[in-house]
Amino acid sequence: MSGAGKSTLSTAVRRQLEFRQEVEVLDGDEIRTFLSKGLGFTRPDREENIRRIGYVARLLAKHHVAVISAAISPYRESRNEVRRLATEAGLPFIEVYAKASLDALVHRDVKGLYKKALAGEIPHFTGISDPYEPPESPEVTVYTDSETVDQSVERILAALCKHGLLGASSK
């Protein structure tokens, strides 16, 4: 969800991987500015946004670029579609669930979005006025409200190793 630490973790993981190979981060805010401008926050628009991110990720991965996507992806069906298309293309797909309690997200929200959403001022806000469907079986779950960034990064790197995408720890 918003504020769970996706961008922070993506940047930290990228730093650990970039000396091994090319790495690109597809950050949700940047994607909405440059690739999905004009899409809103309704379910169909959110699903299209995730499809576009998945498409770009597959293109990069086909050219041996490691891709980290840091985007709010509230619907299981969309995530499963992106996973299926990657698998069909022979590309690995590792789902990382950055989990934090609503209280923690509200507390760390510097933009005041949760406060506005809870007051009913922001429609289609994931986890408040729109659903968030947690992953059923992500390859790794990091608890960003109780782990340090370094602890979460180590757990992500361990999952990459477990799935044969990385050798020994990069630290």
Residue 5 — left, alpha, or beta (φ > 0 → left; ψ -120 to 50 → alpha)?
Answer: left
Verify whether residue 101 is a known catalytic residue.
no
CATH class of 6-162: alpha beta
pLDDT tens digits, one per residue of 72-85: 999 999 999 999 99
pLDDT tens digits, one per residue of 104-160: 999 999 889 999 999 999 999 999 999 999 999 999 999 999 999 999 999 999 999
Q: Which amino acid, one-letter code, is at 83?
A: R
Query: Given the structure tokens 């995730």, which residue do they identify?
Result: 50
Question: What is the pLDDT of the chain when averaged over all its residues?
Answer: 94
pLDDT tens digits, one per residue of 33-75: 999 999 999 999 999 999 999 999 999 999 999 999 999 999 9
Which of 69, 73, 78, 152 is flagged as catalytic? 73
Contacts of residue 56, defined as CB under 8 A and 6 or more positions apart, other chains included, come to 26, 31, 35, 67
Contacts of residue 133, defined as CB under 8 A and 6 or more positions apart, other chains included, come to 74, 75, 76
Spell out the domain ranges in the chain: 6-162
